[in-house]
A and B are shown apart, each in its own frame.
Chain A
């Protein structure tokens, strides 16, 4: 960074003149970074710190060391929630190939493409709350459309949201609906940029089907895939919204995810155990750190290869 020497006679103003070229970018970045550190980074450390205390949020906090974590490892509800989180992440990822599949299928001229794209566009812009409600009605026993469909096909309807073994899958399906639509739009837009020459050349060389997709089309869709994965992971973490709208963690806590369990422990009428809640948050956080580090590592590597 160039450090300009201030001439003795110059006023403040000309010092600014000389240095504004390199100083301005830093001044411009400052508010963003400051806000970011204050409200995102510092609470993260606070969560870590809180997790070593037993505290109801009002009175004295007592230091319990790793007590909260030891309790967590014996807590059945914690494992149920953790397992559901894994299910969410894994099944949610299906939205990426599903969206790609639909996009490739539709990558031809459909009559009324503009209106058509809107149909896929709308699910993604409506709130998760509304998505949750819509699917709750579909699953509702006796009159829900999905219940009716199952009843019509198998003879007996299944009340998905009341079944501890199926409830999480039911909620994930609701979340997948806007997510698939999103990935599909993403890939459909991305496919416009795929070079027809390369496809033609590959075809002349005898590539078709899966090999064509894997070696020719997918590499060109890399930016789209990157965003699809990022947004899908973010989406899977929003599981809290759907769980709290559709089942409130039930039946018998079987659809809880870690974020919801933490909320129950720390901030709901079930208790105000801030330390225990913070410990849950920290665990969830650690898991995501693994994902994110892997992801960033891959990004940096790709960058070096110079894509």
Chain B
């Protein structure tokens, strides 16, 4: 008897849990479905969930009309570029903090992270002016620079938490065995640090891919990545919801796919290594 009740409770629980999960996921699902509707069906009342005539027309229209591939390529260059440069700067910094901590290391880290909490508008005008005067406005180079810097504190913080986990004794042992600093870094540290660096890389690509504030403010037609492209697409084409859904789906698809395959690392990355 007790067993039957607990089974039923469990079933109810599972049902409620899945209802919450699907409610959370619903907006993405809805956008995906809308992208296969005709414009008339997209705004039909009552809305249809699955019983509509599926069409891929929206995708071909978006591809043809709006130079999608260039914006896609901009996104790739900007997110990968800023991540790689960011890592090159951050790896040595995080190494220092993790393995040669000083009295002030924690303070430096917190200070870096705290600037992430400051509103980016605080520096928008000066950076806009610098970019205007150096011809970096609406260029990919400019965006790579600014995104590298904006995400640098997060990269350093994440790498630091990963490096912290590598036992210092191993490095010590290598040093005792006569390994030079160079050998120590290349042969002992790097192999152990690769998983951490990889997840940092993934996380940062995603952050840069999604960045909207700087891309909206510093780019126009030429260097705009997908986020800025979708934002601009929305205003003049105001009412074409199905096409906008198709454009949005294409913009988030790479991230969704990438995210799906690297979920575990990403959860750790997105939580800044605070929880494992």
Residues of A at under 8 Å CB distance from B? 20-22, 24-29, 31-33, 35-36, 39-40, 42-44, 46-47, 50, 57, 102, 105-106, 108, 110-111, 116-131, 133-138, 142-143, 145, 148, 177, 180-182, 185-186, 189-190, 192-193, 223-224, 226-227, 230-231, 233-234, 237-238, 240-241, 244-245, 258-259, 262-263, 266-267, 274, 277-278, 280-282, 284-285, 288-289, 291-292, 295-296, 299-300, 303
Does B181 sit within 8 A of A, measured CB to CB? yes
Our pick among A35, A123, A227 for the contact of B27 (Cβ within 8 Å) is A123
Knowing A116-B17, A240-B213 touch, does A284 contact B122 (C-beta < 8 A)? yes
Whether B123 and A44, one on each chain, are in contact in the complex, defined by CB atoms closer than 8 angstroms, is yes
Residues of B within 8 A of A226 (CB): 274
Residues of A within 8 A of B59 (CB): none
- In the complex, the chain B residue whose C-beta lies closest to that of A17 is B180
Whether A110 and B210, one on each chain, are in contact in the complex, defined by CB atoms closer than 8 angstroms, is no
Whether B149 and A39, one on each chain, are in contact in the complex, defined by CB atoms closer than 8 angstroms, is yes
Known: A121-B259, A244-B216; 19 extra A-B contacts, CB below 8 A, are A24-B181, A25-B95, A40-B123, A42-B126, A46-B126, A47-B125, A122-B28, A122-B259, A126-B255, A127-B211, A130-B252, A131-B27, A143-B45, A223-B274, A233-B117, A240-B121, A241-B216, A274-B129, A281-B125
Task: Compute how far the CA of A171 lies from the CA of B124 in the bound complex, rounded to whole angstroms.
Answer: 23
Residues of A within 8 A of B230 (CB): 127, 129-130, 133
Shortest Cβ gap from A210 to chain B (Å): 21
Whether B90 and A133, one on each chain, are in contact in the complex, defined by CB atoms closer than 8 angstroms, is no
Our pick among A145, A292, A303 for the contact of B47 (Cβ within 8 Å) is A145
Segment with Cβ contacts to A, from B50-58, B63-71, B106-114, B188-196: B106-114
- In the complex, the chain B residue whose C-beta lies closest to that of A282 is B122
Does B217 sit within 8 A of A, measured CB to CB? yes
Whether A142 and B45, one on each chain, are in contact in the complex, defined by CB atoms closer than 8 angstroms, is yes
What are 23 A-B pairs at a CB distance below 8 A? A29-B92, A29-B96, A32-B93, A36-B112, A43-B130, A50-B126, A126-B255, A127-B209, A128-B212, A131-B27, A134-B27, A181-B24, A190-B274, A226-B274, A237-B117, A237-B120, A238-B212, A241-B216, A259-B121, A262-B125, A288-B118, A292-B114, A296-B114
Whether B126 and A288, one on each chain, are in contact in the complex, defined by CB atoms closer than 8 angstroms, is no
Shortest Cβ gap from B272 to chain A (Å): 5
Whether B28 and A148, one on each chain, are in contact in the complex, defined by CB atoms closer than 8 angstroms, is no
Task: Compute how far the CA of A120 lies from the CA of B263 in the bound complex, rounded to whole angstroms.
Answer: 11
Our pick among A145, A185, A266 for the contact of B267 (Cβ within 8 Å) is A185
Ranked nearest first, the 6 interchain pairs of A and B with the lowest CB-CB distance are A28-B92, A32-B93, A25-B96, A43-B126, A43-B123, A127-B210
Whether B231 and A129, one on each chain, are in contact in the complex, defined by CB atoms closer than 8 angstroms, is yes
Task: Compute how far the CA of A214 lies from the CA of B140 in the bound complex, rounded to whole angstroms.
Answer: 49
Whether A284 and B121, one on each chain, are in contact in the complex, defined by CB atoms closer than 8 angstroms, is yes
Whether B95 and A237, one on each chain, are in contact in the complex, defined by CB atoms closer than 8 angstroms, is no
- Tell me how many residues of B have a C-beta within 8 Å of chain A: 91
Residues of B within 8 A of A180 (CB): 24
Task: Compute how far the CA of A289 lies from the CA of B34 in the bound complex, rounded to whole angstroms.
Answer: 43
Interface centre among A20, A118, A300 (most CB of B within 10 A): A118
Does B7 sit within 8 A of A, measured CB to CB? no
Whether B121 and A126, one on each chain, are in contact in the complex, defined by CB atoms closer than 8 angstroms, is no
Residues of B within 8 A of A108 (CB): 13
Our pick among B24, B117, B270, B275 for the contact of A288 (Cβ within 8 Å) is B117
Whether A39 and B248, one on each chain, are in contact in the complex, defined by CB atoms closer than 8 angstroms, is no
Does B78 sit within 8 A of A, measured CB to CB? no
- In the complex, the chain B residue whose C-beta lies closest to that of A111 is B14
Whether A193 and B95, one on each chain, are in contact in the complex, defined by CB atoms closer than 8 angstroms, is no
Whether B149 and A40, one on each chain, are in contact in the complex, defined by CB atoms closer than 8 angstroms, is yes
